[in-house]
């Protein structure tokens, strides 16, 4: 070989080697980062080239893909609209945003490892690969009842099946229309997203499982009462101090009852009556008697502090780690720095309803293939044992008394035994308190447990006019829908 040809051969070999190395680096080292770049139009077109799975409530699609008449082959649509926006989330140019679209993106897009066998099968059969569909646990009648009863007020409503943990309704107000974020006009999508993101009412936040969380107010007395009964030191008829204001040690500030009224003759009451009329001073006394560890342990048994995925991530509810005596008294009535999600409050009632056993909440009933055959079905799973069946039965009787004789009367349903608890959670000295209601029905055969919060809907001078009058009718509407009344 003469010298010019040899040099040319070296150059060609070098170029081939360079090409091989660069191709290898792109394919195996940089591919993931390149695909993730927002300006990668090839990735964007690829994501729209495969039909995304449906999200179903019963037989009805609340999210589905339809053929598009432009360069994108599929358009994501949301027939469920704003009513299910925080459940579905949205799918846009920026990828899957919030809700199930984000949490189960792998299944919906068809890229999940769970669908690997199906993708191989599709390859050999020539069948077009599509994403899996999700069948939800939502009961549309309960969801619609919650939306109608909330009537646009800011807050949240959640319903669960106590014996399975299935989430039957999950509403967060204000909502948004996910279709505005899933169109193919990038300018309109950006404008819609920026508007929603800048809205001070935070419509993109799912208040049922996240956001800033809420002080629970008196619905937390279910936890305090459970700790008291479980200690063996107290019974429903145990006598407790119930002055208009409980003296708190180490401070000049007391713990007052709503309306500054005594809870009984001679400033005495029983645990049952304290629950019925939501007596702060009696429950503050209980908290200090039980101690911080007992209160935190009982809360943890109901799921407080747990990292839950439904499959969307649920922000853990919390009871402060360090509590002095005044803080402990305030925490026992759901104030100070106790913070919860509405889903967690629904789990308080569901645990009591299910004889003390808390089931793991979940939103997806089954994963379906494109021909609607079942790929995976959720099975009920026990999360914890919050109380003994005996304590749960005592709590049920006390919660029934709240609805029968106390502040929860607006949740009464003709011919049905309803158990419940009202709550008025103070936020600051300026804004109105949050109105809460949680409960379940029928009390003697629980089928549905609910939690409702209306932001700044409470009356600081009357729990009956706050949690009872505001939250009670919403809970009643959901319970009736769940019981098909």
Tens digits of per-residue pLDDT, 399-413? Answer: 999 999 999 999 999
pLDDT at position 125 is 66
SS percent in the chain: helix, strand, coil, step 5: 45, 20, 35
Average pLDDT of the chain to the nearest whole number: 90
pLDDT at 110 over 60: yes
Q: Six-digit token pair at 454?
A: 């209306």
pLDDT at position 462 is 64
Higher pLDDT, 14 or 182: 182
Residues 261 and 264: their CA atoms lie apart, in Å, by 9
pLDDT at position 122 is 67
pLDDT at 450 over 80: yes
pLDDT at position 215 is 95
Q: Give the closest residue to 319 by CA, choosing from 333, 147, 148, 310.
A: 333
Split at pLDDT 50, 70, 90, the class of 137 is very high
Mean pLDDT of 320-330: 93
Split at pLDDT 50, 70, 90, the class of 340 is very high
**Number of residues that make up the chain:** 485
Split at pLDDT 50, 70, 90, the class of 19 is confident
Catalytic residues: 218
Q: Six-digit token pair at 103?
A: 């949490």
Q: Are 403 and 313 in contact (CB under 8 A)?
A: no
Split at pLDDT 50, 70, 90, the class of 417 is very high
What radius of gyration do the chain's Cα atoms show?
27
Tens digits of per-residue pLDDT, 231-262? Answer: 999 999 999 999 999 999 988 889 999 888 89
pLDDT at position 70 is 80
Mean pLDDT of 107-136: 78
pTM: 0.89
Contacts of 3 (CB under 8 A, 6+ apart): none
Mean pLDDT of 320-332: 94
Tens digits of per-residue pLDDT, 174-213? Answer: 999 999 999 888 899 999 999 999 999 999 999 999 999 9
Split at pLDDT 50, 70, 90, the class of 130 is confident
pLDDT at position 457 is 82
Q: Which phi and psi angles does 117 have, rounded to 5°?
A: -60, -40
Residues 67 and 135: their CA atoms lie apart, in Å, by 22
């Amino acid at each position: 070989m003469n010298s010019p040809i040899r040099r040319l051969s070296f150059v060609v070999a070098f170029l081939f080697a360079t090409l091989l190395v660069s191709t290898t680096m792109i394919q195996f080292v940089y591919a993931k980062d390149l695909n993730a770049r927002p300006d990668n139009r090839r990735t964007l077109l690829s994501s729209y080239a495969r039909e995304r799975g449906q999200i179903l409530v019963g037989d009805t699609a609340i999210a589905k893909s339809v053929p598009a008449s432009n360069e994108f082959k599929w358009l994501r649509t949301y027939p469920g609209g704003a009513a299910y926006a925080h459940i579905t989330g949205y799918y846009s140019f920026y990828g899957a945003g919030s809700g199930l679209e984000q949490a189960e993106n792998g299944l919906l897009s068809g890229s999940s490892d769970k669908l690997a066998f199906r993708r191989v099968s599709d390859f050999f059969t020539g069948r077009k690969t599509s994403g899996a569909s999700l069948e939800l646990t939502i009961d549309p009648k309960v969801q619609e009842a919650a939306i109608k009863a909330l009537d646009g007020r800011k807050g949240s409503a959640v319903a669960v099946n106590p014996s399975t943990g299935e989430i039957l309704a999950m509403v967060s107000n204000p909502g948004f229309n996910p279709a505005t974020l899933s169109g193919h006009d990038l300018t309109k999508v950006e404008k819609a997203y920026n508007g929603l993101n800048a809205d001070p009412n935070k419509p993109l936040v799912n208040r049922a499982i996240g956001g800033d969380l809420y002080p629970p107010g008196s619905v937390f007395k279910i936890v305090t009462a459970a700790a008291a009964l479980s200690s063996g030191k107290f019974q429903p008829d145990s006598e407790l101090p119930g002055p208009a204001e409980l003296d708190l040690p180490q401070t000049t500030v007391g713990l007052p009852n709503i309306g500054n009224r005594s809870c009984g003759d001679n400033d005495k009451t029983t645990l049952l009556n304290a629950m019925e009329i939501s007596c702060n001073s009696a429950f503050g006394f209980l908290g200090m008697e039980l101690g911080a560890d007992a209160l935190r342990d009982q809360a943890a048994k109901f799921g407080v502090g747990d990292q839950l995925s439904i499959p969307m991530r649920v922000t853990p509810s919390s009871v402060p780690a360090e509590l002095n005596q005044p803080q402990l008294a305030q925490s026992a009535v759901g104030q100070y720095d106790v913070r919860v999600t509405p889903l967690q409050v629904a789990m308080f009632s569901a645990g009591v309803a299910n004889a003390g056993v808390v089931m793991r909440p979940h939103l997806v009933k089954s994963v379906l293939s494109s021909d609607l055959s079942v790929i995976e079905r959720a099975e009920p799973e026990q999360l914890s044992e919050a109380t003994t069946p005996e304590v749960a039965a005592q709590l049920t009787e006390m919660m029934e008394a709240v609805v029968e004789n106390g502040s929860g009367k607006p949740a009464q349903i003709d011919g049905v035994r309803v158990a419940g608890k009202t709550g008025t959670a103070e936020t600051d000295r300026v804004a109105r308190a949050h109105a809460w209601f949680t409960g379940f029905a029928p009390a003697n055969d629980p089928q549905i447990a609910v939690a409702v919060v209306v932001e700044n809907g409470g009356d600081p001078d009357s729990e009956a006019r706050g949690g009872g009058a505001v939250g009670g009718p919403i809970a009643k509407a959901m319970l009736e829908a769940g019981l098909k009344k």
